[in-house]
Amino acid sequence: MIAAAQLWLAGIVTVLAGLAMAYMIAACLAVRIRRTRRASPVPAAPPATILIPLCGAQPELYESLRTFCVQTCKDLQIICGARDTHDPALESVRRLQREFPQLDLLIAANPAQHGSSAKVSNLINMMSLARHDYLVIADGDARVPLDYLERVVAPLADEGVGIVTCLYRGHSRPGLWSLLGSLFINE
């Protein structure tokens, strides 16, 4: 009786070990494929408009918004929107407008409310200023790499792709609550 139970248990353990090994092989292949894709050159992105809804002063807002201003894609428009012309977040945008006068960086300040979501209302209020067919919506606290726009917009050239989304990770500042917030996002 014990020998049969041991044989059955050994079979289950063998199957589980085989599944774990298959998973490890699949994960290694996925990493290798991703590295190969990352090494390949990214095609030039078509002209795009980045919509960034803002509300209130956020820590390191200027630094985050600046990453959008230094994109390698040169034909871009950035629209930062707020509901109030005196919103403190807009001071960072004005500073960037002075730093990058050649950049099509606009402010849309409009208190009009469309529905119950202030953020969606802000996006709707920015739409009238958008001049490109491709729209990218980003949060003001996001920090993006230099080729962000190419990587996000380039897949849209495929007719089978209608929308692109990005994973993100939280970055904590000093303090327990910031650490817990970024762990919630990342883990």
In order along its 187 residues, the chain shows pLDDT tens digits of 567 777 778 888 888 888 888 888 887 787 778 776 655 565 677 899 999 999 998 888 999 999 999 998 878 999 999 999 999 999 999 999 999 999 999 999 999 999 899 999 999 999 999 999 999 999 988 899 998 988 888 888 888 888 888 766 666 667 777 667 666 666 6
Q: Are residues 53 and 102 in the same domain?
A: yes
Q: Are residues 34 and 105 in the same domain?
A: no
Q: Are residues 30 and 98 in the same domain?
A: no
Asked if the structure places residue 162 within a domain, the reply is: no
Asked if the structure places residue 62 within a domain, the reply is: yes
Nearest residue to 149 via CA among 35, 34, 37, 48: 48
Asked if the structure places residue 173 within a domain, the reply is: no
Q: Are residues 52 and 17 in the same domain?
A: no
- What is the pLDDT at residue 108? 96
Tokens representing residue 31 in the block: 């990493």
- What is the pLDDT at residue 17? 85
Nearest residue to 140 via CA among 57, 71, 40: 57
Asked if the structure places residue 166 within a domain, the reply is: no
Listed in sequence order, the residues at least 6 apart from 80 whose beta carbon sits closer than 8 Å to its beta carbon are 52, 53, 54, 65, 89, 90, 93, 105, 106, 107, 108, 140
Domain count across the chain: 2
CA distance 168 to 145: 12
Residue 169: C-alpha distances to residues 7, 27, 138 (Å): 46, 20, 14
Its domain, for residue 83, covers 48-157
- What is the pLDDT at residue 178? 66
Q: Are residues 35 and 68 in the same domain?
A: no
- What is the pLDDT at residue 45? 74
Cβ–Cβ < 8 Å for 72, 151? no
Q: Are residues 108 and 152 in the same domain?
A: yes
Q: Are residues 26 and 102 in the same domain?
A: no
CATH number at residue 74: 3.90.550.10
**pTM of this structure:** 0.72
Q: Are residues 20 and 53 in the same domain?
A: no
